[in-house]
Amino acid sequence: MQTTDVVKSLSVDNLVNQRAAVIDRLGQAVSLIREASAIAAAGHLGMPRLLVSTGFGRGSSERAIADARIGTRRDGSTWDHDADDRADVDKIIRLGVDAAAWQYLMHESGLRSLMDAKARADWDKSISEGDIPELTDANIRLTFRMLHDARGELFERGVIACFKSLAWSYKTNLPQKFGKRIVITYIRNSVSGGKWGAGSGSLGHVNHGRCDVLDDLSRVFSVLDGKPEADHRSGWYSRLNACAKVGDPDAADDFLSVRSYRNGSGHVTFKRPELVDELNRIVARHYPGCLPEPK
């Protein structure tokens, strides 16, 4: 796999070299801080408590870079804090540097657009918990070679995740295929009374999790249509919220139209039948024989 196969217009070698330079300088800074701490202790001087933290997940536990003497009590005793183990400090530094880079690589590679909401959540969870390999040339190439080779499977998994998440209790949701329209339950909070109206809140609050299903469907259609994925900031959650502000139960993008109802359901109509046929072919590959015979 060539360097540009990972991310177009990105030099992996350059990224790794810059990462090494950052890690090296941070390591030098830690050594200088520890040296300053030792001088302060020998001179009976104060030393501020300096901490390092990735700021997220399990790795957010703070680590003290050096011994600290942050005060002296009235009886003359000092208020000290011990430094954490140097290896722990270095690990937190590495995670802080590498996590952002892995996330950047995933976005720039375009592979994230093939993932369904759960796959993205799993990836983000690994990043936030620091469950990531060291950012080396070999690890980058191995990780993205595996993802690249599995991109078809990754995409189809997203289609099947959408298919399985639908509510089959509605007659428009065909249990053997995608039809012309579907019903997605709990897309909003149900509303027992009131009228549609701007500012009335009668549309109900939008459900983040159910909007993930709509975003997955739009993402799948975008890939099948050869178009880039829409910016997440203009996804279905923001789209449905904007409709609520003006009391409009209808919302749409290039592939779906959605009407909200007071029971919290969203009636979704597919605007591109030929793309629905593509979805059904993918479903048929995973569930052989599930599609009805042509009439």
Query: What integer is the mean pLDDT of 170-181?
Result: 65
Q: Do 108 and 214 lie in a common domain?
A: no
Lowest mean pLDDT among 92-96, 180-184, 242-246, 269-273: 242-246
Residues 43 and 142 in one domain: yes
Q: What is the mean pLDDT of residues 194-215?
A: 69
For residue 181, being part of any structural domain is answered with yes
Residues 37 and 144 in one domain: yes
**117: confidence class by pLDDT, cuts 50, 70, 90:** confident
Quote the pLDDT of residue 102.
94
Percent of the chain with pLDDT over 70: 82
- Residue 173 forms part of a structural domain: yes
Residue 89 sits in the same domain as residue 18 = yes
Residue 130 has pLDDT above 80, yes or no: yes
Interval 268-282 mean pLDDT: 90
Is residue 262 included in any domain, yes or no?
yes
Query: Do 159 and 145 reside in the same domain of the chain?
Result: no
Q: What is the pLDDT of residue 175?
A: 57
Q: So what's the pLDDT on residue 118?
A: 81
pLDDT at 290: 58
Same domain, 130 and 163: no
- The average confidence (pLDDT) of the chain is 82
What pLDDT does 200 receive? 44
On whether both 107 and 223 belong to a single domain, the answer is: no
What's the Cα-to-Cα distance from 158 to each of 25, 142, 203, 215, 219, rounded to whole Å?
Answer: 42, 23, 29, 11, 9
Q: What is the pLDDT of residue 197?
A: 46
Count of Cβ atoms closer than 10 Å to residue 116 Cβ = 25
Q: Which of 149, 170, 204 is the last residue of a domain?
A: 149
pLDDT value at residue 4: 45
Domain count, the chain: 2
Nearest to 234 by CA among 251, 209, 246: 251
Question: Mean per-residue pLDDT for 43-63?
Answer: 80
The DSSP element (H or E) to which 79 belongs, if any, is: strand 78-81
Asked if residue 292 is part of any domain, the answer here is no
Please check whether residues 199 and 138 belong to one and the same domain. Answer: no
pLDDT at 54: 82
Q: Give a yes or no: residue 294 inside a domain.
A: no
Q: pLDDT value at position 161?
A: 77
Q: Which residue did the predictor score with more confidence, 76 or 175?
A: 76
- pLDDT band, very low/low/confident/very high, at 264 (cuts 50, 70, 90): confident
Query: Given 100, 130, 149, which residue is the final one in a domain?
Result: 149
- CA 282/CA 199 separation, integer angstroms: 42
Do both 7 and 125 map to the same domain? Answer: yes
pLDDT of res. 196: 46
Please indicate, yes or no, whether residues 40 and 57 belong to a single structural domain of this protein: yes
Q: Which residue has the higher pLDDT, 56 or 280?
A: 280
Is residue 291 included in any domain, yes or no? no
243: pLDDT strictly greater than 50:
yes
The pLDDT, as a whole number, for residue 5 is 57
Q: Are 143 and 160 members of one domain?
A: no
The range of the structural domain enclosing residue 185 comes to 154-286
* Residue 293 forms part of a structural domain: no
Query: For 225-239, how does the pLDDT look when each residue is reduced to its tens digit (9 = 90+)?
Result: 988 877 666 789 888
How far apart CA 210 and CA 187 sit, in angstroms, is: 5
Q: Which of 32-36, 72-76, 168-172, 184-188 has the highest mean predicted lDDT (pLDDT)? A: 32-36
Distances (CA, A) of 63 to 46, 51, 66, 223: 19, 5, 9, 44
Please check whether residue 210 lies inside any domain of the structure: yes
pLDDT value of position 3? 42
**Domain endpoint, select from 104, 123, 149:** 149
Alpha-carbon distances, residue 248 vs 218, 233, 287 (angstroms): 21, 20, 38
Q: According to the model, what pLDDT value does residue 168 have?
A: 54
- The mean pLDDT of 69-83, rounded to a whole number, is 79
Q: Are 233 and 204 within one domain?
A: yes
